[in-house]
Each structure stands twice: as structure tokens, then as C-alpha cells.
Copies of this chain bind each other. A is one copy, B any other.
Amino acid sequence: MELRIGLIGLGTVGTGFVKLLLEKHGHIKGRYGLDLRLVGIADLVKGSAYDERGLDLARLLELSEREDSVLAYPGAVEFQQLGSLDLVREDGVDVVVEATPTNLRTGEPGYTHIREALENGKHVVTTNKGPIALRYKELRELAARKGVFLRFEGTVMSGTPCISMGFECLRGAEITRIRGIVNGTTNFILTEMSKGMPYEQALRKAQELGYAEPDPTADVEGWDAVAKVMILANVFLGSQLTVSDVEREGITGLTLEDIRAAEREDAKVKLVADIRREGGHVKASVKPRRVPLSDPLAHVDGVLNALIFSTDTVGDILIMGAGAGPRATGQAILSDLLWIHAYLSGDPKKAPRALFP
């Protein structure tokens, strides 16, 4: 089988995906019987390119990185001539990879890209948290009506497959609560603080290492974690929360004394995301909490993320792994594309490589 990909956004995530695709294309063809062909790119800043025979990934990456542009690519054009909405309507595109940045207020531009792609009968893989946090149900229904897939593994814990584990691997179980650490930047800062480094210094270290943005607000005030909590609530607890439904407190008020006070009680301070059913409602929060050392979350250090799914049939299941990074997020996109391939394949006689380990 062949899947022809249109990619929107050639920032850190999009570039990470193209790199991984270049590295893995042959392996994927051999192992799974799938030809993943990138036919189009649309990036507001770097420009757009389209070639139905497939773009030359090495050349594209070279231009994108060296000149911060793809306009020197043969046949490339300005974004105004081939915009994201043109790309999602191209007949030659089977699946749209949406990798623009998250906006938790409007969900744009991701929401419009995804809606239009689905409307045009394209499968969608996205790493953009906004549309899934704000409008998952609507997009899910649209995808079902159009007979296409909508996947978003990369929105939570990057390539650590918490979304597909929670849905595909736990079918039949009821998930009653999800609790965990879903922001690597704050967990890195808290880990440094537990080694004795004050908050401001730990934040600077995180910025130097590229874990925190120059403006760290989205991470340290908990907004990134709130977006992930909304996604988990939508997907696994069937509740559409708004941003203000999620109780939120960041880590900027924490001092070394808070960390030490916790340690005196055999606990660590962690920024904990918590989503649970209470009465008929879903309660959700992102808050610094004292986590006793007997709790597995106390041992999730540095930029790692972890989630604990509480179920009615198999108790608590913990998944821990990378929570960010271009290569890990590229893996999330790749696995989503291979999911679509597996579901489309269906018959184990025709596609054994897609359907058997």
C-alpha cells in the first residue's frame, strides 16, 4: 500500500518527522509493506512544495535547515501560492500531517486545517494539542462521517504511546482515573530543585538545554499540562472540559524550602495532572503536589513523563517515557501513519506484515 502525505508546518516537529521519514522509509516499506511518500509541504514561513512523485527529503531538509526556506527546492512556491488549505484539498494527498503550533484559546490554525482535511476525505495525523483539546468530539464525528481516521499520538507524551495504549490496548476496560506527569520542562526544573538548585537557576538551565522556551509561561504556569489534561479527559473519560474547568497552578511559586519540607515527609514535589470521575462529573487539575516515595510518580525524574491509567479490570497501569523531542514526536507521527495503514489493511492474508508482530 501507499500513503501520500501532505505536511503542514516545517518547524521543529515537522522537520523531526521528515528526518525520521528519510531514515525509516526503506525499513517501513520492508517491515510493514507500506510506501510512505511525502508529496507536499506547506509552511507559512519557509514556503511550499508539491510533487506527486514524492519530494526529495534529503534536499528538502538541507534547504530547510541551511536557508530556513524550501523556496530553492525545484518547483517550490511561496505559501501564498500553495497554502495549507490548498494542500489539504489536493487530490494527490491521502493523509494530512498537521504540525503547526498549539493555540489553546482558538485551536487555530490547526482546527481549520484538520476540519478541511477531514471534509475533503483525507486522514489526519496531528501533533497540535489545540484542536484535540478544544474540539475533539466534533472532529471525531466528522472523521467517522467521512470514513477517515484522525490520530493524535504526539499531542501527549510525544512518541511514548499513551493515547493508543489507553484506547487500543485497553479496549474493554473502563478507565476511571488518569494521573501523571505530562510536562517534561517543569519536571526537569523540579528534579534540579530537589538536588538543591533554586527555581530561577533551574529554569535558566532548562532554557540553556532547550527544554524551556525563552518565554517559559506555557510550561511553568501549567498551560501545556492543561491542554494535555483536556485531551485525556476528552478521549478517555468522555468529557469535554473547557480550559477554566481545569484547576491550574504552576510551579513558579515553589521554593527550595517547599521541596525540603516534602523530603522530610518522604515525598517529592511534582506537577501532577489528575483527571477522575467524581459523582457524575469529571474533575481535572494540574497542581504541584507532594508525592510520597511509595508512589511510582515520585521516581519519574528529569524530562521524563508518566501516566497511570486506573481501570476496572486490571488495576493501575503505568506508562513512562520521553515526553518531548523532535525525534520522539516524529515517532508519534510515524506510528499514527502505520496505525492508519494497519486499520486500512484489515485482512491478515493480504497484509500480514501490517497486522502481525
Q: Mark A143-171, 1 if CB is under 8 A from B, else 0.
A: 11111111000000011110111111111
- Give Cα A143–Cα B159 distance, bound, in whole angstroms: 30
- Give Cα A314–Cα B161 distance, bound, in whole angstroms: 10
A168 surroundings in chain B (CB, below 8 A)? 164, 168-169, 339, 342
Query: Which of A57-65, A216-224, A278-286, A322-330 contacts its partner?
Result: A322-330
User: Which of B317, B331, B347 has a CB less than 8 Å from the CB of A314?
Assistant: B331
Which residue from chain B places its CB closest to the CB of A28 in the assembled complex?
B172
A322 surroundings in chain B (CB, below 8 A)? 314-315, 317
Query: Is the pair B356, A150 in contact by a Cβ cutoff of 8 Å?
Result: yes
Which residue from chain B places its CB closest to the CB of A149 in the assembled complex?
B348
Query: Is the pair B313, A357 in contact by a Cβ cutoff of 8 Å?
Result: no
A299 at the interface (CB under 8 A from B): yes
Query: Is the pair B334, A313 in contact by a Cβ cutoff of 8 Å?
Result: yes
A330 surroundings in chain B (CB, below 8 A)? 313
Q: Mark A251-262, 1 if CB is under 8 A from B, else 0.
A: 000000000000
What total of chain A residues lie within 8 Å of the partner, measured CB to CB? 68
Which residue from chain B places its CB closest to the CB of A123 in the assembled complex?
B348
Query: Is the pair A172, B320 in contact by a Cβ cutoff of 8 Å?
Result: no
Query: Is the pair A346, B344 in contact by a Cβ cutoff of 8 Å?
Result: yes
Query: Is the pair B327, A321 in contact by a Cβ cutoff of 8 Å?
Result: no
A44 at the interface (CB under 8 A from B): no
A104 at the interface (CB under 8 A from B): no
A215 to chain B minimum Cβ distance, whole angstroms, is 27
User: Which of B296, B315, B335 has a CB less than 8 Å from the CB of A171?
Assistant: B335
Which residue from chain B places its CB closest to the CB of A166 in the assembled complex?
B357
User: Which of B24, B235, B343, B352 has a CB less than 8 Å from the CB of A357?
Assistant: B235
A34 to chain B minimum Cβ distance, whole angstroms, is 10
A48 to chain B minimum Cβ distance, whole angstroms, is 26
A257 to chain B minimum Cβ distance, whole angstroms, is 25
- Give Cα A355–Cα B147 distance, bound, in whole angstroms: 11
A32-54 CB contacts (< 8 Å) to partner B: 32
A264 at the interface (CB under 8 A from B): no
A138 to chain B minimum Cβ distance, whole angstroms, is 13
A28 surroundings in chain B (CB, below 8 A)? 172
- Give Cα A236–Cα B345 distance, bound, in whole angstroms: 21
- Give Cα A97–Cα B169 distance, bound, in whole angstroms: 18
User: Which of B24, B316, B320 has a CB less than 8 Å from the CB of A317?
Assistant: B320
A244 to chain B minimum Cβ distance, whole angstroms, is 24
Query: Is the pair B348, A167 in contact by a Cβ cutoff of 8 Å?
Result: no
A89 at the interface (CB under 8 A from B): no
Q: Please give the residue numbers on chain A whose beta carbons come within 8 Å of chain B beta carbons, in ascending order.
A: 20, 24, 27-28, 32, 140, 143-150, 158-161, 163-174, 235-236, 296, 299, 306, 311, 313-322, 327-328, 330-331, 334-335, 337-339, 342-350, 352, 355-357
- What would be 9 A-B contacts, judged by CB atoms less than 8 Å apart? A161-B317, A165-B169, A169-B335, A171-B335, A315-B322, A317-B320, A319-B319, A343-B355, A344-B346
Question: Given A20-B313, A161-B165, 18 more contacts at CB 8 Å?
Answer: A27-B174, A140-B352, A140-B356, A143-B356, A144-B352, A144-B356, A145-B349, A160-B317, A161-B170, A164-B169, A168-B169, A171-B335, A296-B299, A311-B331, A313-B334, A317-B320, A318-B320, A319-B319
